[in-house]
Homo-oligomer: A and B are copies of this chain.
Amino acid sequence: MTAGARAALPVKISATGGYIPSLKVDSTELDGRFGFQAGFVERATGIRTRYYGNETETAPYMGARAVADALRRGDISMKEIDALISVAGTQAQLVPCTASLILEELGELDSGIAAFDINATCLGFIVGFDVAAHLIAAGRYRRVLLVAAETCSVMLSPTEWESASIVGDGAAAVVLDRAEGGEASCVGWSMMATYPRGARLCETRALGTTLHPNSPRKPTPEDYHFHMDGLSLVRLTSDLATGFRDRFMSEAGQSLSDFDLIVPHQASGPAVRLMMKRLECPKQKVFLYLRDFGNVASASIPFGIHLALEGSRLKRGDRVLLVGTGAGVSLGALSLVY
């Protein structure tokens, strides 16, 4: 990393993959559903298209397809993987963890590798990347698969256009390896900061132990939907952004000008643009793709890396900042050399 940076972890991204489900939903369709004039949803969200999973495209299925895509592109076999970490913000079922279900879907029934989930809502990839980098750098694992598979469309409210307009389904997978001597690739600093003052601004209250159908605290139909107070969320995260940036850059020993590419969580057009402005990220360095896929939650950042590579926006040696916000409310960032 640049001068002044903390000791970096010798870890590199060796392959990426993605999976986009089959049901294409244009914003004009949502205009009709919510009774808006044609063009409103796209203007309000910056999103033209998103995709939803069909009946067979479950999260484990999509996760397995993204993994298979990454392995194929990297010419890597599952036998060379030591751990599979699911970093989705929504789980497939309450028990067991999603990672084991993805492994099952891959047909790796007698795998014997480590398989567990990290959930930091939309920041799961940032936290998972940091955790995996530490485990690889210290020699616990040689090669780790991170996979984010989100099928949040099932929990969208039929009446809350604001959240229903931004969410898309999708999956992305990233293979992490030890960077050998001579390779510039590394992970620099990473930070996550949670402010539960915003915990209720973005939530799905049911689908856990608190509001369980068998408990005295029975969920209402609304509790099964995803709810978001977008304006309050943007206000809160904007207020926190400058302090977060300063703390991150100070701890990392870096400055924003050190980065060649910034891959933000693609929350929504207005939200991500405001966040980039507050963080003072130069527009031309920011990789935006939400217009074509919407907000795919925890898959947003790894799918962004995948698309940036596909589109030749990212090459070996580039200094990259991953940054985003998540329910909780949390801010997170990670710096790396690709």
Contacts from A to B (Cβ < 8 Å): 6-7, 9, 55, 58-60, 83, 89-101, 103-104, 108-121, 123-124, 127, 130-131, 134-135, 137-140, 150-152, 154-156, 190-197, 199, 202-217, 221, 224-226, 326-330
Contact = CB atoms under 8 A, between A and B. Distances in A.
Contacts of A208: 59, 90-94, 98, 207
A109 B221 CA distance: 28
A210 B109 contact: no
Given A90-B94, A99-B194, A101-B199, A116 B115 contact: no
Copy count, this protein chain: 2
Contacts of A192: 83, 114-116
A92 B210 contact: yes
A296 B226 CA distance: 29
Given A96-B328, A212-B155, A113 B224 contact: no
Nearest to A225: B214
Nearest to A191: B114
A107 to B, nearest CB: 9
A214 B108 CA distance: 30
Contact of A155 (B101, B209, B226): B209
A94 B138 contact: no
A116 B119 CA distance: 6
Contact of A118 (B91, B118, B140, B151): B118
Contacts of A58: 209-210, 217
B196 A328 contact: no
Residue with the highest number of chain B CB atoms closer than 10 Å, among A151, A210, A217, A329: A210
B121 A96 contact: yes
A312 to B, nearest CB: 32
A204 B95 CA distance: 5
Nearest to A214: B154
A135 B138 contact: no
B103 A95 contact: no
A36 B34 CA distance: 56
B90 A209 contact: yes
Contacts of A115: 120, 192, 194, 196, 328, 330
Closest 7 CB pairs of A and B: A104-B196, A96-B327, A94-B207, A116-B120, A100-B328, A115-B194, A94-B204
Contact of A194 (B6, B7, B90, B103): B103
Contact of A330 (B100, B109, B204, B205): B100
B109 A196 contact: yes
Interface centre among A96, A140, A327 (most CB of B within 10 A): A96
B155 A214 contact: yes
Contact of A96 (B127, B138, B152, B326): B326
A193 B137 contact: no
Contact of A93 (B59, B108, B138, B203): B203
